[in-house]
């Protein structure tokens, strides 16, 4: 519903003030009534379909069209979320008759997720500038803000290194570097005699050895915990954000090295499933499945997530659980459910360690409160080490690394598994 906006400016000395105010009020009311109806002004908002945090931002544009034969001074206010950090959410344009004006602004989002701006407020000034007509209108739009892939450069380096090793530029081939037959080649002094292919040697009348490479088309599935423990912050960043970076790095490395990588995100229930696949497009599918996840303040159902994973993906796989090594949660819910996976799969449990706790445990307290904090930090680290030891005792591989190192250590664990043929 349109509304009138009237500007009242008191003028003149006390004598005749009421008369002057009445005249101005009347002019302003007439000016507002004669202004163009904001409903006649057409506005199109142009949003990017997706923006990645930290990738330089993007541009939002508004196309404002005046279909009438009158000039119009138009003010527009959009309902863009503050976390999009738009350069401007309000602007004014002067529209000639039957003309369009395009206004642009930059956005640099600070928070990932799905954004759906809906409302735009349009105000059209009267000819005298004393009054205006204003209307709210629904202008729905959708934009995805994707998480930052902070370890992208390091992922590329690890992919390149693994590929160089696979083609023999390093000494991985022929010396335990893989289990899948690759090719035959002439024997060199560095080759092991157990790699000799005697049938090929007899045919070629010279020593020939078999070369091997790490097996491809293996299956890697990441189980991302989205429960309450992942809402805690480490170095001012929620654990879920650090976990997502590790998931993206592992997906990029595994899917581009010929293995099939997938995702299961869960808390009390399974929130997203990405079937295992290989190739460069798989990373985009995983990001699309994760970008709008927000940690639920509930206990995660490990048993339910494991059962869903095993029911959907029966082939032997490397299952990577990204969670928090909380002694209570691990003891009560994870350890009872873990044998379900360990019976037929290689299991890796990955977690983000808090460097503040390590620093507090090593501090020399100068006051009682500092002593209490140091004691609490030492106790927390002991419980964490004990939890990791229990998981290793069951047969799981544990990767517990600080922010900035979890992604690389998890990728290195995957590459070691491939190099030793454990998968």
Residues counted in the chain: 423
What pLDDT, on the 0 to 100 scale, is given for residue 321? 96
Do the Cβ atoms of 318 and 396 come closer than 8 Å? no
Q: Which of 192-201, 281-290, 364-373 has the highest mean pLDDT?
A: 281-290
The answer on pLDDT for 25 being more than 70 is no
Q: How far is CA 396 from CA 199, 267, 349, 390, 399, in A?
A: 41, 21, 7, 9, 10
Of the ranges 45-49, 238-242, 361-365, which one carries the lowest mean pLDDT score?
361-365
**Would you state the structure tokens that stand for residue 311, as one six-digit string?**
């029911």
pLDDT classification of 215: cutoffs 50, 70, 90? low
Distances (CA, A) of 119 to 44, 81, 140, 392: 12, 11, 7, 54
Spell out a b/e string for 166-182, using b for 16 or more CB atoms within 10 Å of the CB, else e.
bebeeebbbeebbeeeb
Among the residue ranges 1-10, 165-174, 274-283, the one predicted with the least confidence is 165-174
C-alpha Rg value of the chain to the nearest Å: 32
Residue 239 has pLDDT above 80, yes or no: yes
- Would the pLDDT of 172 be above 60? no
Classify each residue of 131-149 as buried b or exposed e, where b means 16 or more C-beta atoms within 10 Å of its C-beta: bbbbbeeebebebbbbbbb
- Cα 17 to Cα 72, 130, 250, 277: the distances in Å are 32, 18, 75, 79
Q: Are 357 and 377 in contact (CB under 8 A)?
A: yes
Q: Which of 80, 56, 76 is nearest to 65 (CA)?
A: 76
- Condensed to tens digits (0 to 9), the pLDDT of residues 275-304 reads 999 888 999 999 999 999 999 999 999 999
User: Is the model's pLDDT at 5 over the cut of 80?
Assistant: no
What is residue 170's predicted lDDT score, i.e. its pLDDT? 35
What tens digit of pLDDT does each residue of 100-120 get? 999 999 999 999 999 999 999
Select the more confidently predicted residue: 368 or 86: 86
User: Does residue 137 surpass a pLDDT of 80?
Assistant: yes
Residues 6+ apart with CB under 8 A from 10: 17, 20, 21
**Higher-pLDDT residue of 240, 329:** 240
Q: What is the pLDDT of residue 64?
A: 93
Task: Tell whether the model's pLDDT for residue 249 goes beyond 70.
Answer: yes
pLDDT of residue 168: 44
Tokens for 107? 């956005």
**Could you give the CA distance from residue 299 to residue 55 in angstroms, rounded to a whole number?**
34
Domains of the chain, residue spans: 3-146, 180-213, 216-419
What confidence score (pLDDT) does residue 132 get?
80
What average pLDDT does the chain have?
A: 84
* Three-state secondary-structure class, residue 43: strand
Name every residue whose Cβ is closer than 8 Å to that of residue 284 and which is 6 or more positions away in sequence.
none
pLDDT of residue 324: 93
**Angle in degrees, 0-180, between the axes of helices 152-166 and 239-256, rounded to the nearest 10:** 30
User: pLDDT at position 105, please?
Assistant: 93
pLDDT of residue 39: 87
DSSP characters over 69-86: SS-EEEEEEE---GGG-B
What pLDDT score was predicted for residue 389? 93
Query: For residue 201, how many C-alpha atoms fall within 13 Å in the half-sphere facing its CB?
Result: 10
**Does domain 3-146 sit in CATH 2.60.40.10?**
yes
Residue 28: the pLDDT is: 62
Check residue 251 and give its pLDDT: 96
Distances, alpha carbon 372 to alpha carbons 305, 328, 356, 366, 368, in Å: 38, 22, 15, 11, 6
For residue 179, the model assigns a pLDDT of 53
The CA distance from 345 to 342, in Å, is 5
**Beta strands per DSSP E along 280-415:** 318-322, 346-352, 397-401
Q: What is the pLDDT of residue 169?
A: 35
Least confident of 33-42, 309-318, 378-387, 405-414: 33-42
User: Helices 281-290 and 239-256, interaxial angle, to 10°?
Assistant: 160
Which range (287-301, 322-336, 360-374) has the least confidence?
360-374
pLDDT for the residue 211: 66
**CATH class as words, domain 216-419:** alpha beta
Q: What is the pLDDT of residue 31?
A: 57
Lowest mean pLDDT among 150-159, 234-243, 348-357, 363-372: 363-372
């Amino acid at each position: 519903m349109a509304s009138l906006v009237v500007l009242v400016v008191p003028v003149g000395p006390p004598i005749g003030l009421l008369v002057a105010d009445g005249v101005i009020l009347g002019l302003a009311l007439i000016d507002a009534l004669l202004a163009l109806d904001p409903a006649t002004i057409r506005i199109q908002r142009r949003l990017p379909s997706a923006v990645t945090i930290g990738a330089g931002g993007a541009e939002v544009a508004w196309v404002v069209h005046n279909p009438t034969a009158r000039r119009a001074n138009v003010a527009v206010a959009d309902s863009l979320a503050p976390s999009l950090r738009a350069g401007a959410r309000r602007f004014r344009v002067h529209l000639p008759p039957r003309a369009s004006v395009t206004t642009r602004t930059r956005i640099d989002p600070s928070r990932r997720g799905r954004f759906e701006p809906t409302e735009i407020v349009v105000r059209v000034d009267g000819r005298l500038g004393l009054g205006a007509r204003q209307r709210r209108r629904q202008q729905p739009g959708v934009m995805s803000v994707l998480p930052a892939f902070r370890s992208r450069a390091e992922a590329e380096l690890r992919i390149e290194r693994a590929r160089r090793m696979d083609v023999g530029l390093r000494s991985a081939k022929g010396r335990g570097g893989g289990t899948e037959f690759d090719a035959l080649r002439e024997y060199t002094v560095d080759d092991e005699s157990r790699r000799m292919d005697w049938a090929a040697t007899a045919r070629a009348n010279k020593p020939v050895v078999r070369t091997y490479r790490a097996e491809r088309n293996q299956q890697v599935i990441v189980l991302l915990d989205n429960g309450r423990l992942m809402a805690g912050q480490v170095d001012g960043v929620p654990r879920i954000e650090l976990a997502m970076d590790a998931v993206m790095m592992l997906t990029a490395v595994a899917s581009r090295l010929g293995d099939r990588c997938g995702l299961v995100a869960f808390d009390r229930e399974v929130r997203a499933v990405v079937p295992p696949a290989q190739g460069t497009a798989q990373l985009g599918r995983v990001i699309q499945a994760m970008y709008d996840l927000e940690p639920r303040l509930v206990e995660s159902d490990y048993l339910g997530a494991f059962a869903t994973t095993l029911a959907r993906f029966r082939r032997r796989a490397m299952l990577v659980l990204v969670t928090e090594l909380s002694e209570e949660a691990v003891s009560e819910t994870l350890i009872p459910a873990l044998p379900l996976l360990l019976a037929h799969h290689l299991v890796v449990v990955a977690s983000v360690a808090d460097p503040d706790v390590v620093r507090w445990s090593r501090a020399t307290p100068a006051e009682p409160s500092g002593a209490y904090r140091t004691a609490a930090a030492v106790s927390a680290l002991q419980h964490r080490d004990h939890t990791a030891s229990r998981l290793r005792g069951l047969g799981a591989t544990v990767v517990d690394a600080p922010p900035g190192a979890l992604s690389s250590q998890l990728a290195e664990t995957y590459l070691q598994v491939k190099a030793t043929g454990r998968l």
